[in-house]
Amino acid sequence: MIADPPSFASRASSVPKAIEAYPTLHNASLTLVAPGGLYLAESCLSHITRAMFAETVSDSARKAKRWSLLLNAKGSPADHTRIRAFTEGDYLEADLYRVL
């Protein structure tokens, strides 16, 4: 299952709504994944940190009474440059989970 939604928070003021929207998406997706199946959760939000995004997945799995094992976490590819001082530039996330 791949969940790659459009940007839920185009500005910082939208973050609370995005944090509420992700669990709905993850819950719907995780319930469709067969035990042992894979779930790829993607995000392109500069205002939500990797930790915040990962928490939306783990909270959703817990609520769906499913275990999720993070297999791989990817960010921006090498050709997508970012400036270290501009942490918001590191906004592409793709986390692969095994759902149990």
In order of 9, 26, 32, 89, 100, the CA distances from 19 in angstroms are: 9, 11, 21, 19, 24
| Number of domains, the chain | 1
pLDDT value, residue 88: 64
What is the domain-level CATH number for residue 65? 3.40.50.150
Q: Between 100 and 13, where is the model more confident? A: 100
List pLDDT tens digits, range 21-73. 888 899 999 999 999 999 999 887 777 788 888 898 999 999 888 999 999 98
Give the range of the structural domain holding residue 93, as residue numbers without chain letter.
2-99
User: For residue 75, is pLDDT > 70?
Assistant: yes
